[in-house]
Amino acid sequence: MLLGMMGSGKSSVGSALGDATGWPFVDNDALVERATGRTARELLAVGGVDAMREAESAALRAGLAIRPPAIVATAAGTVLRADDRELIAGGGLVAWLRATAAVLAARATGADHRPWLEDDPLGWFERALAERDPLYASIADIAIDTGTSSPAQAAEAILARCSAGG
């Protein structure tokens, strides 16, 4: 299970893990779009935050239904729901990919499918990290700073943890 904010590298690290292991990699954003025909931004515009979060939760459950071993990247906001946190924590090794607000804002700004970032990306990330970091930490088995490591290095660290029995 890959957990972290948008821009933290879940897609890049997930792809690197998939390449290294041969395991299937599923990204929550892709699962949301496949299930609903809409991006998170479109869901937010049409149905509001609740519709977007419901779709992300459904995508999380779909990712967890894939026969293990598999790599599942969760939507950043799934951590806000206690039921989703419980599913993530029980879904296998949970790797929290983290970076500073400045790194995340630089990486994520401008992507069409990412809501929230039009007005003040850095401020949004600072506020979101203050709220979410303790939640991510509460269910993570391993934390990796993706602001200072490449996707390949992050994947290596996760695989080392898997080999160590974590």
Confidence of residue 39 (pLDDT cuts 50, 70, 90): confident
Q: What confidence tens digit (pLDDT) does each residue in 58-98 have?
A: 999 999 999 999 999 999 999 999 999 999 999 999 999 99
Q: Domain extents for the chain?
A: 2-161
| pLDDT above 70: percentage of residues in the chain | 93
- Residue 128 CA to residue 101 CA, distance in Å, equals 9
Q: What confidence tens digit (pLDDT) does each residue in 128-162 have?
A: 999 999 999 999 999 999 999 999 999 999 999 88
What does each C-alpha distance from 155 to 7, 19, 69, 83, 105 come to in angstroms?
Answer: 16, 10, 15, 27, 22
The answer to whether the Cα torsion of 11, 100, 96, 117 is positive or negative is negative
| pLDDT above 90: percentage of residues in the chain | 70
The pLDDT score that the predictor gives to residue 112 is: 55
Q: Which residue has the tokens 């935050």?
A: 49
The CATH number of the domain covering residues in 2-161: 3.40.50.300
pLDDT of residue 44 exceeding 90, the answer is no
Which tokens in the block code for residue 13?
Answer: 């690290």
